[in-house]
Amino acid sequence: MTSPRKPAGTVASVTEPEPETETGATAHARTDDGFDGESEFTARLENFLSDHCSRITDPAEDEGEADGLVRTRAFQGALVEARLAGLTYPTHLGGAGLSAQHQEVFTRVSAGWRLPNGPLAISHGMCLPMLNQFGTEEQKATYLPDNISGRSIWCQMFSEPGAGSDVAGLSMRATRDGDEWILDGQKVWTSGAHYCDFGIVVARTDPTLPKHQGLSMFIVDMRSPGIEVRPLVQISGARGFNEVFFSEARIPAANLLGEVNQGWNLAVSMLMFERVSIGAGGGALNARRSPELAALAREMGQASNPVIRQGLADLHIREEIKGYIGQRIRSSVAAGRVPGPEGSIAKLNGADLARRTRDLAMSIIGTAGQAWDGMDPSSDAAARWSSFCISAAGVSIAGGTDEVQRNIIGERVLGLPREPDSFKGAPWQDIPRN
């Protein structure tokens, strides 16, 4: 088993499968100490946030990626010291051993603060619950403490250039060689891979089986020989996404997550965690934007505009609804259940909210959001929100496109018939590919 390395990176991911079945995960191990001290816990949390964070209405600090990672790790370390990290995870694995109610209070109270934990979105929103629910006891003991503390940062590797929204059609190979697995292939749109310490990857272990049955999931050390990370430059200039190439990369057999050829069930579970993280999670990824936009409206002289005021009210209401959706799902996850189609509902709603936020921001900023002058006092706000608006459409892709989510909801909630598949049950190796 590889031992966790200390320093390195983050995430967000773009995966688009079409789930068939869901897995029954093992129970979420935690110590529930009841919830008798809400006021005391809230006060302790508010004191911590006031010491370590800025208000959501305060201007965002402009810092480079390296400084951001240092700040993230320092912040997460402070959370650990304050017994506020990994709230529902057991203490012997680095968590706080508290209840789901404590997590809800944390999510509610922290919504008013700018938490510097963006690089941990995938680590904590996807990889951490997967390791906890499907990892062996040895894997949990090895990886959870450093993941919770931010000493190691994780990424997720599903998407491939030739698979598109059909993650089950992936072609990356994993071949058993004694006490090791050999990985060959390519992943794409891997958020934060260039600074992440570890990743979770899905590969094909048996091409003679139907495409949903011949997959397995693995834990990989991102610094292993044979793994190359190449950044992808976006229209905004950001370099958060990457291509990852595996060329005879060897990993210990003990790094198998779950059972051989059961990777699709685990992939569905992880995708649901991703969708929940995008559509109903806490932290930087799901920070409420309405207070920021209200402050922006005042800054831009738009606070008395009735159309803008109506837009802000509508956004506030929708964020409240999103919060209630998230509360329900997070309680389910804390109880040890893998999110089902409700994750798709949350994700679809989150994508719609991102687009509405984008449109309102551009209505407030006006043409300054398209071209700004560095000498203009409003330039910083215009540049910041323009960058957000450019990337907002990506929320409709990450974790499965809106179209995929609607298919899932239609089939698994509404009971509509599945689309016909002429290759259903055929060995993956016999299915034509581009």
Distances from the Cα of 260 to the Cα of 211, 214, 216, 272, 307, angstroms: 14, 8, 5, 21, 56
User: Smallest Cα–Cα separation from 86: which of 114, 125, 141?
Assistant: 125
CATH number for 224: 2.40.110.10
Same domain, 290 and 260: no
Which residues contact residue 180 at a Cβ distance below 8 angstroms, ignoring those fewer than 6 apart?
250, 251, 252, 253
Same domain, 325 and 280: yes
Same domain, 405 and 284: yes
Alpha helices in 82-218 (DSSP H): 100-110, 121-122, 128-134, 137-149
Residue 18 lies in a domain: no
Residue 403 lies in a domain: yes
Same domain, 404 and 273: yes
Residue 371 lies in a domain: yes
Task: Give the residue from 265, 293, 313 where a domain finishes.
Answer: 265
Task: Confirm if 194 and 10 have CB atoms less than 8 A apart.
Answer: no
Between strands 198-204 and 154-157, the pairing is parallel
For every one of its 434 residues, what pLDDT tens digit does the chain have, with 9 covering 90 and above? Answer: 444 443 333 333 333 334 333 333 333 333 344 455 788 999 999 999 999 999 877 777 777 888 999 999 999 999 999 999 999 999 999 999 998 889 889 988 998 898 999 899 999 989 999 999 999 999 999 999 999 999 999 999 999 998 867 888 899 999 999 999 999 999 998 999 999 999 999 999 999 999 999 999 999 999 999 999 999 987 767 788 999 999 999 999 999 999 999 999 999 889 888 877 776 665 555 668 898 899 889 988 899 999 999 999 999 999 988 888 877 877 776 676 777 788 888 888 888 998 999 999 999 988 777 766 555 545 667 777 877 787 788 888 877 888 988 998 999 889 999 888 888 889 999 988 76
User: Smallest Cα–Cα separation from 408: which of 281, 266, 217, 271?
Assistant: 271
Residue 209 lies in a domain: yes
User: Smallest Cα–Cα separation from 346: which of 278, 298, 395, 296?
Assistant: 278
Same domain, 201 and 218: yes
Residue 33 lies in a domain: no
Q: At 70, phi and psi to the nearest 5?
A: -60, -45
SS3 (DSSP) at 103: helix
What is the number of domains present in the chain?
3
Alpha helices in 306-433 (DSSP H): 306-334, 342-365, 379-392, 402-412
Task: Give the residue from 135, 151, 167 where a domain finishes.
Answer: 151
Domain carrying residue 220: 157-265
Task: Give the residue from 90, 119, 151 where a domain finishes.
Answer: 151
Same domain, 307 and 381: yes
Same domain, 272 and 361: yes
CATH number for 319: 1.20.140.10
Residue 9 lies in a domain: no
- Token code pair at residue 403: 């179209």
Same domain, 277 and 258: no
CATH number for 114: 1.10.540.10
Same domain, 216 and 334: no
Same domain, 278 and 226: no
Rg (CA), the chain: 22
Catalytic residues: 274
Same domain, 405 and 272: yes
Same domain, 240 and 259: yes
How large is the greatest C-alpha to C-alpha distance in the chain, in angstroms? 70
Residue 221 lies in a domain: yes
Residue 302 lies in a domain: yes
